[in-house]
Structure 1
Amino acid sequence: MQIRPARKEDVPVILELIHDLAIYEKEPHAVKNTVEALEENLFGPHPAIFAHVAVEQGQVQGFALWFLNYSTWEGVHGIYLEDLYVRPEARGKGMGKALLRTLAGIAVERGYARVEWCVLNWNEPSIRFYKSLGAVPQDEWTTFRLTGDALSSFGSPVVSGGAA
């Protein structure tokens, strides 16, 4: 097994794994991403996301997609893990752990304050896995999200001359 930064030629299989993750998370039709968009975001002139892949016998078996966040209290960056996924047939070989260890190593090497992510409340196998690594749930926080019509409505420009 090898963990390495993703390459352009990995993008189609990473997108395939993103679709597999969506199925696992009971949202099979939620993925709107494309090979072109993912490639642009990972390898375009101003990449804001990064990915590492787990490779076994020349085949990508898993990935971690991440980006930088920032702690205003600590005054340093952190890593936000957007997705971590290993194919079911490749699980139990330490790939997920190796991918997370790679991100933790990057954080330590660069002086970042943390590596953090979200996990669905029903995903007990993942929760047990993360706790076994020493990760601690942030139970005192609730994630909020603006999307769809609510985002469009709230983010629409304010008409000039109106009350603020």
Structure 2
Amino acid sequence: MSIKIRKAVEDDSVKVWPLMKELAIFEKYIDSFAITPEIVRESGFHKNPPDFYCIVAEDDDKIVGMLVYYFLPYTAQNRPAIYMKELYVDALYRGQKIGEQLMHALREEAKQKNCGQIKWTVAPWNKAGIKFYERLGANENRDWLNYEWNI
């Protein structure tokens, strides 16, 4: 098994979508999950600029991990930031440092785009995720509370 980390291309849309669905089940929002492979293709590869970018982990021809992100172009530091929206690795491939490789690829992308920060959220019940991010050297930001306004 040889894992390749690369930026997603349009043909990956149908291969990334099942991981997005698995993440929705894992994070308990499958009842409101409205993404389809067609939406992935349109939003990520046909729009200019795209709504999101994606880095994938590939084993042969199978996508086994994904990291979805977008840019926050305007920040108080006068440098863009990256917001990581989704990180997911197929359960059969966990424990092989694929998530770590995806995060390092995102960090390189942030450096190339002159970003000052990578931001994300993690569910408080996701202890394995929290431990993973802390092992990478990430810090919990307790300065801000997350709010939502459902429309």
Instruction: Report the TM range for the smaller structure's normalisation.
Output: over 0.9
For residue 36 of structure 1, report the CA deviation from its aligned partner: 1.6
Look up the SS of the partner of 2:43 in the other structure: helix
- The answer for the alignment partner of 1:112 in structure 2 is 115
Output the amino acid matched with 2:22: D
Deviations 1:6-37 (A, max 9, x none): 11121112111111001111222221012221
Deviation at 1:125, TM superposition (A): 0.3
Q: Which residue of 1 aligns with 2:131?
A: 128
> Corresponding residue for 1:60?
63
| Higher RCO by CA contacts (8 Å cutoff, separation 6 or greater) | 2
**8 Å Cα contact 2:75/2:81 also seen in 1:** no
The corresponding residue for 2:75 is 72
Aligned to 2:33: 31
In 1: Cα distance, 2:35 partner to 2:60 partner: 27
Q: Does 1:50 align with 2:40?
A: no
- 8 Å contact kept, 2:15–2:62: no
Partner of 1:146: 149
Q: Residue type matched to 2:9 in 1?
A: R
DSSP-derived class of the 2:42 partner: helix
Q: TM-score, normalised by structure 2?
A: 0.93
Judge which range, 106-115 or 77-86, deviates more: 106-115
Residue 82 of structure 2 contacts residue 115 of structure 2 at CA under 8 Å; is this kept in 1? yes
CA RMSD of aligned residues (A): 1.2
**Is the contact made by 1:64 and 1:81 (CA closer than 8 Å) also made in structure 2?**
yes
Q: How many residue pairs align between the two structures?
A: 148
Conserved 8 A contact 2:72-2:81: yes
- Take 2:74 and 2:119, find their aligned partners in 1: how far apart are those partners? 12
In structure 2, what is the Cα distance between the partners aligned to 1:35 and 1:2? 22
Larger Rg: 1
Q: Is the 8 A contact 1:8 1:39 kept in 2?
A: yes
Q: Separation in 1 of the partners of 2:61 and 2:35?
A: 25
Q: Which contiguous aligned blocks of 4+ residues in structure 1 show a shift greater than 4 angstroms?
A: none
- Shift of the alpha carbon at 1:71? 4.9
Residues 1:132 and 1:19: Cα distance change in structure 2 (over 3 Å): same
Amino acid at match of 2:58: V
Aligned twin of 2:7: 5
Flag structure 2 segments of 5+ consecutive residues without an equivalent: none
Identity %: 28
Where do 5+ consecutive residues of structure 1 fail to align?
152-164
How far off its partner does 1:58 sit?
2.3
Contact 1:71 1:113 in 2 (8 A): no
